[in-house]
Every structure is written in C-alpha cells, then in structure tokens.
Amino acid sequence: MPATGAKPPGATDEAAAAQAVRQMFDSIAPRYDLLNHVLSANVDRLWWRRTARRFRPILARPDSVVLDICCGTGDMTMALLRHRPRGGRPILAADFARAMLTRGAQKFGPQARNKVEPASSAAHKPQAPYAIPVEADALHLPLRDASIDLIVTAFGFRNLANYQAGLREFLRVLKPGGQLGILEFSEPGGLIGKAYAVYFRRVLPAIGRMICGEAGPYNYLPSSVGRFPPPPHMLSLMRASGYTDCAWQPYTLGIAGLYTAARPPVT
C-alpha cells in the first residue's frame, strides 16, 4: 500500500511530520542550491526548464494566475518567470519553510519589483515579470476557491504530510479547467535503477553530509523517494481526488518525472 504522506524519522503524526520537514529545510537552506546542483550534476536545471515549457500556453497569458507551491529557494519559480509576459500578473511563490522562502525572495522578489527604470521609459514600458513570496502551508492555502489557473510544484509534493489532502487543496483553489504540474523524483527500474539506487542511498547522503554538515536531511531524501507512490499509484490517487487528464512524463530515464492533471471544466 502506497504511503499517505511524508514521514521523517521520529514523526508520529501529520503535524509532527510537517514540523520536522519545515525544520529540516530551514536548517539546510544556506547550502540548498549548491547541494541540488552538485548532487544532480546540474540536471535539475533542465528538469525545471522542461516543466516550465510544458505550461507555456498558460504562462504566456498576462491575466493567468500562477502558483508555485513548495517553491523552496525559487528555482522553479525563476524557470516559470522566463515564460511570463511583461506586464503580466506576478507569480505567487509559496513555501512554509521561512529560511528557504527568504533565499528565494532574494532571487525573484525585490530585484524585480524595485528595479529602477529611466523616467522617460518607465511610463511606457510594462513591468518585467516578477514573483511574490508567500509564506503558506500547502495543505491550508490562503487562497480563494477556484482562483488559480496553474499550480506547479517541484520536488516538494513528496514532503507533504498527507498527499491526498494536498491534492484536494490544490483542486479547491484551481479554476475549472485549471492545470496542475507535479515534478517529483521516482525510482527507475532495470540496471539503471539499481546503479542509481546505490548512488541515491549511499553516495548522495555522504556528499550531502560533507557539504552541509548534517546527515539527517540527505538520509531522509532517498527514504522519502522510496516511500512516495510509484507513478501508477500516484495517477490513481490524482484521479480519485477529482482530477482529469492525469498523465506522467518521465525525465532522464525515469529518475524524475512530471505529473500533469486538470480540474474538470464546468459542464
């Protein structure tokens, strides 16, 4: 039976799991970007860009409302911003780990909003795309029902204390016809999967421990991927939660993949 949500060591219930995840990511925030790029050999950048390209039609609409939930330090947000038009609505970049969100805001917040333009051009030039950082829990979003056109989350959904509750909350805030993208790790099969498992479970935690000085977070990573529902189960969970057009696109031989779905339109 697939796991119902993240379960860090020592967590006995959903509230404890959420608190442990928040503390873990706050603790590694200063080294998070460096570790991501080192441990993935920069392939993570390709995954974010590919995910953003998948949603170009929505991102290109100036009035579309876009949420990057569990945004972490904002790399997925930055990839999405590349496809937003000047003068379009800002992207909402939300996370409940304040230290992670603070680092993300340094990338897409003040620089974009406070950029100084010559007075002669500012009046005639639409504002460059930017994002608004929002401290928020993915299971309790401070958003109105049916208010979002696109929700994207990259490598954060796996850490929710309750996967089905997360899917239901996303469905609540999506507009009818709105789209969902969940970029997550998976466990490939075959010989490649076996070789990757050795790296993921032995080499990766050792490198993470050397760089950030903590063993816990990078021991948790492979265990959390192992507990996460495999694609067929995840797709079933999405359908059972009320989504339509559910699909999974593997990236890099199935090491990661993009789940896509939509809230059914009004009939």
> pLDDT tens across 90-127, in order?
999 999 999 999 999 998 755 444 443 343 433 445 78
Does the pLDDT of residue 1 top 50, yes or no? no
Task: Assess whether pLDDT exceeds 50 at residue 87.
Answer: yes
Residue predicted with more confidence, 109 or 128? 128
Question: Which pLDDT band, with edges at 50, 70 and 90, does 214 fall under?
Answer: low
pLDDT score of 218 more than 80:
no
* pLDDT number for residue 29: 86
Confidence (pLDDT) at 112: 44
CATH class of domain segment(s) 14-114+126-262: alpha beta
**How many Å apart are CA 166 and CA 256, to the nearest integer?**
20
Q: What is the dihedral of CA 99, 101, 105, 107, to 10 degrees?
A: 90
The Cα 172–Cα 168 span in angstroms is 6
- What gap in Å lies between CA 31 and CA 92, rounded to an integer? 24
Q: What is the pLDDT of residue 3?
A: 64
Nearby residues of 231 by Cβ (< 8 Å), 6 or more positions away: 186, 248, 250, 257, 259
Residue 175 has pLDDT above 60, yes or no: yes
Cα angle 181, 187, 190 (rounded to 5 degrees) comes to 130
- HEC letters along 190-248: HHHHHHHHHHHHHHHHHHHHHHHCCCHHHHHHHHHHHHCCCHHHHHHHHHHCCCEEEEE
Structure tokens at 28: 């590694």
**What pLDDT is attached to residue 111?**
46
Under 8 Å between Cβ of 218 and 9: no
Rounded to 10°, the helix 98-108/14-40 angle is: 40
Helix (H, G, I), strand (E, B) or coil at 149: strand
Tokens read off for 8? 């860090």
Q: In what order do the strands lie in the sheet with 148-154?
A: 131-135, 91-95, 66-69, 148-154, 174-185, 256-262, 244-251
At residue 220, the pLDDT reads 81
Phi and psi, residue 258, nearest 5° = -110, 120
Q: How far apart are CA 31 and CA 89, in angstroms?
A: 31
Mean pLDDT of 174-192: 91
The continuous run of DSSP H or E covering 46 comes out as helix 43-54
Q: Radius of gyration of the chain from Cα atoms? A: 18
pLDDT tens digit sequence for 223-236: 888 889 999 999 99
Nearest CA to 88 among 69, 65, 57?
Answer: 65
For residues 242-252, average pLDDT:
97
Q: What is the pLDDT of residue 123?
A: 43
How high is the mean pLDDT of the chain?
87
| 240-262 mean pLDDT | 96
